[in-house]
Amino acid sequence: MVGTILSMLGHQLDDKLLKEIIDEVDADGSGELEFEEFVTLAARFLVEEDAEAMQQELKEAFRLYDKEGNGYITTQVLREILKELDDNLTNDDLDMMIEEIDSDGSGTVDFDEFMEVMTGGDD
């Protein structure tokens, strides 16, 4: 049943891997998943999908701002994006963020740096 549900979510797992995952989340060792245990298992796969979807959306957004297709945007463009996302950011806040992101002072931000800013980490 669990394998079928995961398959419907786009995850094909062989029986051995599925059993390992079920054993890992089967907290009471009953050999069956209670609802809460199933939610724990399913959340692993949904988070992965959400992260992939977010990365794809951010990639599309980056492409929109990288009009010339150079693989980077200027720090000025990033400043405008951040200001649009949070109009409570002061110029000092923006300056500090840009300085941290553009540590080499190049005036540009590539996709990986953009992802780090937008997701709050370096995944």
31-81 pLDDT per residue, tens: 877 777 777 877 777 666 667 777 888 888 888 889 889 999 999 988 888
Which architecture does CATH list for 66-123?
A: Orthogonal Bundle (1.10)
Note the maximum CA span of the chain. Answer: 58
Indicate the pLDDT class of residue 9, thresholds 50, 70 and 90. low
Instruction: Convert the pLDDT of each residue in 10-36 to its tens digit.
Output: 778 888 988 888 888 888 888 877 777
Q: Please, where are the H alpha helices in the chain?
A: 2-8, 15-25, 35-65, 75-85, 91-101, 111-119
Q: What stretch(es) of the chain map to CATH 1.10.238.10?
A: 66-123
pTM above 0.75, yes or no: no
Report the pLDDT value the prediction gives residue 108, as an integer from 0 to 100.
93
